[in-house]
């Protein structure tokens, strides 16, 4: 069976497969990753092929420590040091000047490389088992909702992947925050698991991600996070009307706050991640619910407050609703 529980045997196998250039799916604290040896261009190409990922979308390289990160960069700016010490291991990705031996396949030909040190014990164990940096985007077919379980990943890739390590549901449920430290001020390239508020508390002055500064995150322009069903954002005040009209239709699903659901919304086609202010719960449940309702014709989703993690949740929802 390609989906395996995490134990010393499966970890050893993951290390062997990665060193041999194969693909391994493993849990991180953000979402499940589709990993390959970052220093092996043919292995990295397998990631792009399996995902159908556009070649201009560079990958995040995962390493076990700050020391390992320094081996992949041509310089280690003071800002990198501050962020790494504060947030690694953890869900912050830093875009840094790339060392020459980092393959073009990983960076999509850019002069920079995105690196993070994951906190998840299984991700750390996999890194130790293979001893090489692991390039790992989210383990979903490009454009689909990110996977928060090994089963989500398996349903996208089947036997294209040699091994799926099942470490239970991902902790956070949205991807890492991506910050460029290439210039004098940091630039927030992608909202994610570490909120803007927390980052701005540490460094008050930020550059703009308006395309005039250092490289925008190329990946943010692509279609993302979308189930097959059409996703539509419906304000809480209108949800009761929608429910009256469509609540009985088995092809329509609803993702609403506990407060909105309390007005009588219940059933198999209603997903309730948590209360309106519980952005952590929404982050944790959102992708799983989008996948659960994949085959519906429409999913109506209540927007939540954009405070803290809520900003990353809403950014994912708007992208899912775009397509």
Q: Is 116 in the site for ligand AMP (CB under 6 A)?
A: no
CB of 140: closest distance to ligand AMP in angstroms? 9
Pairing of the two strands 252-255 and 112-116: unpaired
Q: Is the peptide bond before 89 cis (omega within 30 degrees of 0)?
A: yes
To the nearest 10 degrees (0 to 180), the angle between helices 150-157 and 279-292 is: 30
x/- string (CB under 6 A) for ligand AMP, residues 148-177? ---------------------------x--
Stretch that binds ligand AMP, among 54-62, 70-78, 200-208, 312-320 (CB under 6 A): 54-62
Q: Is 114 in the site for ligand AMP (CB under 6 A)?
A: yes
Q: How many CB atoms lie within 10 A of CB 52?
A: 10
Report what 90 binds from ligand AMP, Mg ion, none; CB cut-off 5-8 Å by kind.
none
6, 14, 63, 95: residue in contact with ligand AMP (rule CB under 6 A) = 95
Taking the C-alpha atoms of residue 44 and residue 314, their distance in angstroms, rounded to an integer, is 30
CB-side exposure of 17: number of CA atoms within 13 Å?
A: 21
Stretch that binds Mg ion, among 69-77, 123-131, 132-140, 246-254 (CB under 5 A): 132-140
CB of 178: closest distance to ligand AMP in angstroms? 5
The smaller minimum CB distance to Mg ion, of residues 142 and 257, is found at: 142
The smaller minimum CB distance to ligand AMP, of residues 4 and 155, is found at: 155
Stretch that binds ligand AMP, among 121-129, 217-225, 255-263, 306-314 (CB under 6 A): 217-225
Quick one: how many helices (H) and strands (E) in the chain? 12, 14
Q: Judge contact between 111 and 98, C-beta under 8 A.
A: yes
93, 138, 176, 217: residue in contact with Mg ion (rule CB under 5 A) = 138
Pairing of the two strands 92-97 and 24-27: unpaired
55-77 CB burial, b ≥16 within 10 A, e <16: eebbbbbbbbebebbbebbeebb
The smaller minimum CB distance to Mg ion, of residues 138 and 260, is found at: 138
Q: Is 178 in the site for ligand AMP (CB under 6 A)?
A: yes
Residues of this chain that bind Mg ion (CB under 5 A): 138
């Amino acid at each position: 069976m390609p989906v395996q529980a995490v134990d010393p045997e499966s970890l050893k196998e993951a290390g062997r497969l990665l060193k041999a250039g194969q693909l391994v799916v493993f849990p991180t604290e953000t979402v499940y990753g589709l990993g390959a040896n970052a220093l092996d261009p043919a292995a990295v190409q397998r990631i792009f092929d399996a995902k159908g990922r556009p070649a201009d979308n560079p990958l995040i390289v995962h390493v076990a420590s700050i020391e390992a990160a320094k081996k992949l960069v041509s310089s280690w700016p003071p800002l990198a040091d501050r962020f790494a010490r504060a947030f690694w291991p953890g869900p912050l990705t830093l875009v840094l000047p790339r060392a020459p031996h980092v393959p073009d396949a990983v960076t999509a030909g850019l002069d920079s490389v995105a690196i993070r040190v994951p906190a998840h014990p299984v991700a750390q164990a996999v890194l130790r088992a293979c001893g090489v940096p692991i390039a790992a985007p989210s383990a979903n077919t490009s454009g689909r909702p990110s996977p928060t379980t090994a089963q989500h990943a398996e349903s996208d890739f089947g036997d294209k992947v040699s091994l799926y390590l099942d470490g239970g549901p991902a902790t956070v449920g949205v991807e890492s925050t991506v910050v460029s430290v290439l210039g004098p001020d940091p630039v927030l390239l992608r909202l994610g698991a570490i909120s803007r508020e927390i980052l701005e508390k540490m460094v008050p002055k930020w550059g703009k991600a308006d395309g005039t500064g250092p490289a925008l995150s190329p990946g943010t322009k692509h279609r993302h996070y979308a189930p097959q069903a059409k996703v539509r954002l419906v304000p809480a005040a209108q949800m009761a009307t929608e429910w009256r009209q469509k609540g009985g239709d088995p092809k329509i699903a609803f993702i609403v706050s506990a407060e909105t659901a309390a007005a009588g919304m219940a059933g198999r086609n209603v997903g309730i991640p948590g209360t309106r202010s519980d952005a952590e719960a929404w982050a944790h449940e959102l992708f799983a619910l989008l996948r659960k309702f994949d085959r519906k014709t429409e999913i109506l989703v209540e927007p939540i407050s954009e405070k803290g993690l809520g900003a990353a949740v809403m950014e994912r929802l708007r992208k899912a609703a775009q397509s």
